[in-house]
């Protein structure tokens, strides 16, 4: 029979309330740390295949699904449980669809009259301001289109602002320039404070920080807006396809900072990985685990039980 962790750990009394009201619980203070996993006699490496679950791997290796607990004991990446186990292709695609597809990533190059001092990483805008602002787009600074895209967060270390994907505002949707057949559309994004105290307070914080604002006539009213000082000429409708990291053209293993990309390149470097590729890398790293060799598994189980009962 496989080891029953809860029985082997035993019981202890613990006062959860501080009122001397002790409850009998499993004694999780007992631990056994597996050491010397470099021992080639006992341990080896294994690569998890697509779709394999812990009990499937255990059955494949040891002829019994009961030894799946050993994977979680031996590998630091699995200390948090199944979240450390690699996703299957189906699970991975579902995760990407849930976590990425609802959003839009705005990156880009410097607008001609802008400076790095006004990179949007310096813009006072956070998640708490999302309901205080609106996203506008214009290509002539005369006609402005308001969209239902909402600010989510800045990701300035990866060169971008993340918005929800718009369901209205055709002008903003045309900024989907990920496809090779999409022409460059030089539209600019503007953030407009909503009427009310929250919007007014946000605009005041922007001006206090010295971030530039511009005033235009919008809907027959003089309106102060905050321009993103970058032309979103490299935006993608799906965040997953946007750039997670640029790399130097000459040193392909050297990642570039967002400022490095802007200051050193008229065009974004072709050496890059997307967020989708980044997530693939992270998921695939989980595939390599340390296991007990089949010939040693019964002895390992006996030793573990002896240690934990000491």
Q: Per residue in 37-81, pLDDT tens? A: 667 678 999 999 999 999 999 999 999 999 998 898 889 888 878
Q: Is the pLDDT of residue 174 over 90?
A: no
Whether 107 and 38 share a structural domain: no
Dihedral (C-alpha) 117, 120, 124, 128: value to the nearest 10 degrees? -170
- The answer as to whether 97 is a domain residue is no
Residues 297 and 194 in one domain: no
Share of the chain above pLDDT 70, in %: 63
Residue 9 has pLDDT above 70, yes or no: no
Q: What is the mean pLDDT of residues 175-202?
A: 70
Burial of 31 (0-12, 13-18, 19+ CB in 10 A): exposed
User: Residue 205 above 90 pLDDT?
Assistant: yes
Tens-digit pLDDT profile for residues 92-103: 999 988 888 787
**For residue 149, what are the domain limits?**
102-270
On whether both 114 and 81 belong to a single domain, the answer is no
pTM here is: 0.64
Q: Are residues 118 and 250 in the same domain?
A: yes
More confidently predicted of 160 and 149: 149
Do residue 110 and residue 150 come from a single domain? yes
What pairs with residue 12 in β-bridges? 25
Q: Is residue 96 part of a domain?
A: no
What's the DSSP call for residue 77?
Answer: G
């Amino acid at each position: 029979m496989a080891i029953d962790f809860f029985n082997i750990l035993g019981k202890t009394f613990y006062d959860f309330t501080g009122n001397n009201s002790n409850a009998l619980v499993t004694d999780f203070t007992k631990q056994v740390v597996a050491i010397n996993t470099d021992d080639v006699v006992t341990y080896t490496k294994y690569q998890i295949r697509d779709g394999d679950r812990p009990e499937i791997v255990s059955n494949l290796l040891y002829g019994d699904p009961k030894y799946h607990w050993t994977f979680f004991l031996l590998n630091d990446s699995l200390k948090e449980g199944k979240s450390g186990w690699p996703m299957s292709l189906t699970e991975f695609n579902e995760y990407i669809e849930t976590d990425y597809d609802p959003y839009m990533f705005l990156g880009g190059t410097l607008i001609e009259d802008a400076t790095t001092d006004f990179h949007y990483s310096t813009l006072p805008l956070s998640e708490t301001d999302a309901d205080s602002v609106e996203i506008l787009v214009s290509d002539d600074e005369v006609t402005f289109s308001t969209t239902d895209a909402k600010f989510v967060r800045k990701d300035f270390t990866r060169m971008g602002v993340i918005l929800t994907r718009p369901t209205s505002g055709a002008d903003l949707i045309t900024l989907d320039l990920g496809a090779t057949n999409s022409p460059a559309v030089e539209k600019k994004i503007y953030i407009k404070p909503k009427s009310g105290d929250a919007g007014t307070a946000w605009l005041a914080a922007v001006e206090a920080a010295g971030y530039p604002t511009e005033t235009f006539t919008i809907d027959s009213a003089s309106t102060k807006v905050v321009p993103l000082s970058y032309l979103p000429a490299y935006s993608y409708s799906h965040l997953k396809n946007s750039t997670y990291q640029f790399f130097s053209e000459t040193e392909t293993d050297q990642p570039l900072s967002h400022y490095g990309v802007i200051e050193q390149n008229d065009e974004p470097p072709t050496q890059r990985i997307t967020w989708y590729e980044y997530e693939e890398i992270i998921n695939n790293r989980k595939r390599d685990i340390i296991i007990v060799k089949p010939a040693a598994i019964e002895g390992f189980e006996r030793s573990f039980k002896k240690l934990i009962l000491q």
